[in-house]
């Protein structure tokens, strides 16, 4: 971590504006999973205990950027944070009209801003209409860029120090995650962001060996760049989930009606050839739980080898669980991103939970790389046996691809 962190700056008497990732599931005003809120607590408490006041900003969901939408309000999160902190959390109903609330803050006090994505300027995106010429599109993009800078400057005015503790959005060059750093002299990483970068960074740059990576999930296109990068780092690569069937097809195996991205088959074949050239074991499922349809009550069978026509693979089979478990034995670093099957349905959850158990039982630095893997680990009851559970889905993937994350790059260098 070559960027400044909270421990590198004085906080007494300062006003801090901090980007957090409070994009949590909410139904009827109740938070379904508070992992991301709790993950930000160490930074929040440290800032307040050091005698600073704090302005929090976040997005929630995918509103249309056209103003307030009740379903995407952060007010329930503010009330929940109040309970966790045991102190009041003031709330500003508009993230760009909070001057009076901000100015009234005293050391040790907290203000949360309403959803930053209620403004299109946060993301700074412009969609090109079918009948729009290139010149008009270019002009609109430039206008949006200027609006985004104006929004970032406004948010920057709320503090004299910027902290980014939102790893889950660090791969986005948004007003509140990266552009804001153009208008604040000192920009530092919070403890969560620092922890994420240190764990993921050490995993891919200086891992304890043997280093085993497990990739799953539905779409191979989401992770081919990760596969390519990890093949230069790992000692063993394990592939499961829906993405495995694209690789199986590349090998000429029958996959029935299983999920497959035909436009990625040739590239998957290249990755398999690259692994062979490098001498990296590239493990694919040797059996699968196949179903006659995509449903919780579908008829199922364990299929070794190819999958018959009109059947689809929805989980890895028992022999694959054994194979993957054996490959994990003795591992000193394990990186896991993506489930082994449709674990949301009980009939297709055994593979994911089997791998989860195998990872938990290793004597390794185990890193769970965000997304559905985190849900699976939490549901398995084995979360406390993992070394690090990432709060970033897309950010974790882009980091593992070797990409620069704008929200990290924009921070002040040490």
Catalytically active residues are: 36, 219, 371, 394
Which sign, positive or negative, has the C-alpha torsion 337, 341, 346, 351?
Answer: negative
**Which residues lie across from 289 on neighbouring strands?**
302, 315
3-class secondary structure, 40: helix
C-alpha closest to that of 212 among 370, 366, 399, 373: 366
Give the Cα separation of 396 and 380 in Å (integer): 21
Q: Taking a C-beta distance cutoff of 8 angstroms, is the pair 153, 184 a contact?
A: no
Give the Cα separation of 336 and 275 in Å (integer): 18
**Which residues lie across from 334 on neighbouring strands?**
212, 366
**Which residues lie across from 54 on neighbouring strands?**
16, 110
Give the Cα separation of 104 and 92 in Å (integer): 12
Which sign, positive or negative, has the C-alpha torsion 192, 197, 198, 202?
Answer: positive
Helices marked H in 59-174: 75-85, 99-104, 134-156
Find all residues with CB under 8 Å of 22, minimum gap 6, and list them: 36, 37, 40, 56, 58, 60, 74, 77, 81
User: Which residues of 87-246 form beta strands (DSSP E)?
Assistant: 89-92, 110-113, 161-164, 187-189, 211-215, 236-239
Give the Cα separation of 390 and 195 in Å (integer): 9
Angle at 398 between CA 186 and CA 54, to 5 degrees: 30
Q: Taking a C-beta distance cutoff of 8 angstroms, is the pair 324, 355 a contact?
A: yes
């Amino acid at each position: 971590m070559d960027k400044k962190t909270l421990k590198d700056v004085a906080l007494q008497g300062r006003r801090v504006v901090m980007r957090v990732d409070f994009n949590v599931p909410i139904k009827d005003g109740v938070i379904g999973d508070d992992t991301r809120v709790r993950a930000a607590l160490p930074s929040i408490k440290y800032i307040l205990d050091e005698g600073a006041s704090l302005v929090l900003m976040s997005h929630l969901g995918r509103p249309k950027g056209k103003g307030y939408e009740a379903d995407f309000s952060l007010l329930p999160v503010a009330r929940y944070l109040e309970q966790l902190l045991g102190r009041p959390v003031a709330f500003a109903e508009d993230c760009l009209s909070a001057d009076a609330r901000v100015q009234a803050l005293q050391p040790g006090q907290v203000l949360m801003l309403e959803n930053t994505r209620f403004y299109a300027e946060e993301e700074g995106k412009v969609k090109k209409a079918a009948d729009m010429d290139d010149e008009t599109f270019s002009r609109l993009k430039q206008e949006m860029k200027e609006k985004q800078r104006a929004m970032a400057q406004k948010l920057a005015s709320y503090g004299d120090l910027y902290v980014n503790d939102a790893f889950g959005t660090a791969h986005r060059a948004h007003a509140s995650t990266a552009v804001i750093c153009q208008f604040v002299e000192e920009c530092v990483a919070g403890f969560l962001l620092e922890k994420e970068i240190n764990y993921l960074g050490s995993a891919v740059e200086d891992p304890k060996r043997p280093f085993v990576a497990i990739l799953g999930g539905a779409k191979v296109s989401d992770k081919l760049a990760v596969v390519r990068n990890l093949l230069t780092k790992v000692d063993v690569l394990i592939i499961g989930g829906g993405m495995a069937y694209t690789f199986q097809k590349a090998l000429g195996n029958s996959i029935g009606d299983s999920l497959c991205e035909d436009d990625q088959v040739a590239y998957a074949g290249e990755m398999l050839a690259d692994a062979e050239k490098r001498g990296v074991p590239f493990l694919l499922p040797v059996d699968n739980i196949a179903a006659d349809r995509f449903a919780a009550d579908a008829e199922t069978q364990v299929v070794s080898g190819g999958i018959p026509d009109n059947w689809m693979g929805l989980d890895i089979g028992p022999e694959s669980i054994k194979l993957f478990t054996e490959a994990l034995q003795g591992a000193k670093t394990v990186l896991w991103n993506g489930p082994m099957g449709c674990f949301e349905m009980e009939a297709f959850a055994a593979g994911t939970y089997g791998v989860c158990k195998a990872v938990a039982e290793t004597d390794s630095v185990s890193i769970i790389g965000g997304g559905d893997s985190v849900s699976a680990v939490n549901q398995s009851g084995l979360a406390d046996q993992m070394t690090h559970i990432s709060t970033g889905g897309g950010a974790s993937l882009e980091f593992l691809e070797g990409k620069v994350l704008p929200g990290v790059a924009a921070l002040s260098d040490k």
